[in-house]
Amino acid sequence: MTDNNNGVLVVVEVEGSQPTDLAFEMLALARRLTESIGGNVTAVAFGAGLESTGEILTAYGADQVLLNDNEIFANFHAEAWLPDLSKIVTESLPAVVLLGHSEAGTDLAPRLAFRLDVDVATGCESIDIINGRPHMTRGCFGGLAREVVTFTKTPAVATIRSKSQEALIPVTERVGEIKNVISILDVNSIRTRVVNREKEKAVGGVKMESAKVVIGGGLGLGGPEGFKTLNEIAELVDGAVGASRAACDLDWCPRSYQIGLSGRTVAPELYLAVGISGASHHMAGCGNSKTIVSINSDPKAEIFKSSRYGIIGNSQEIMPALAEEIRKLKA
């Protein structure tokens, strides 16, 4: 595609009719980018029952909202979303297209970039405009370093990591343009069919990315039984449970628990790392936590370098005792 300067387009994921927290964070980034490159912030949402979604996105910074409201979009399917999204981008000619660094976003972004014959940068933590071009910063070498990439073609397509941006305070009086999109999707063109979906229930009903307390478990738990204790504590404190890649690789917990460079990104008020060594690829997913408290039997564990408080000891003894004390406090 040719050079253009028509603002920023944000691809929004919704749960029901509610945009995700990451969508709000990307809208804040988009607003900042348009201060440098000009143009409007356009939000594109796919889903079913989106009657209230447009007003929510407008309050969080969108100038224009395009709603793809159809039952076929109720669950993410890259082949279903791609035709309409490609058409919208081609017609609106944004300078930047932002998607979440989520399962959906990392599936859709490269497909979109390929169809548009442009480049894509995934896992971005920040974007700055330098000499009129977007420069994306992201982790590399397992989180040990940062690299800055830019493109010669537009639009620049990027996926944004959760919690790398701070959402704006919503302004309910804000006015924007809300349109319903007439889909061009030919359902017969979809080559794959989803035959079953199993949604894992969040511990205590709290999503990991929005939890104020996240408890991460690693090899130091000694086995899958250790995660039962973590889940119990998480429910007591209205928190969520995560894990290191090593624990997930051993099937001690669901893969969706994985925190890190190749997993999920969290930035809670408190991150309790239990039996986690502190490898760089894990810290890339939790390093922005306000307070990190670590429990590890190895006094030389790397995790202590990133922790405000550390406890040297056997987590299999400490965690049950911690659970008991919390129960007493809540009694």
- In order of 126, 148, 156, the CA distances from 63 in angstroms are 21, 29, 20
Confidence class for position 16, pLDDT limits 50, 70, 90: confident
The 10s digit of each residue's pLDDT in 57-66 is 999 999 999 9
The 10s digit of each residue's pLDDT in 145-164 is 889 999 989 999 999 998 88
For 285-324, give the DSSP string: TTTT-SEEEEEES-TT-GGGGG-SEEEES-HHHHHHHHHH
All structural domains of the chain: 8-189 (3.40.50.620), 203-330 (3.40.50.1220)
Is pLDDT above 80 for 199? no
**Sheet strands side by side (includes 291-296):** 240-243, 213-217, 270-274, 291-296, 309-312
* Confidence (pLDDT) at 63: 97
Q: Minimal CA–CA distance to 82: which of 114, 55, 58?
A: 114
Q: Position 170: which residue type? A: P
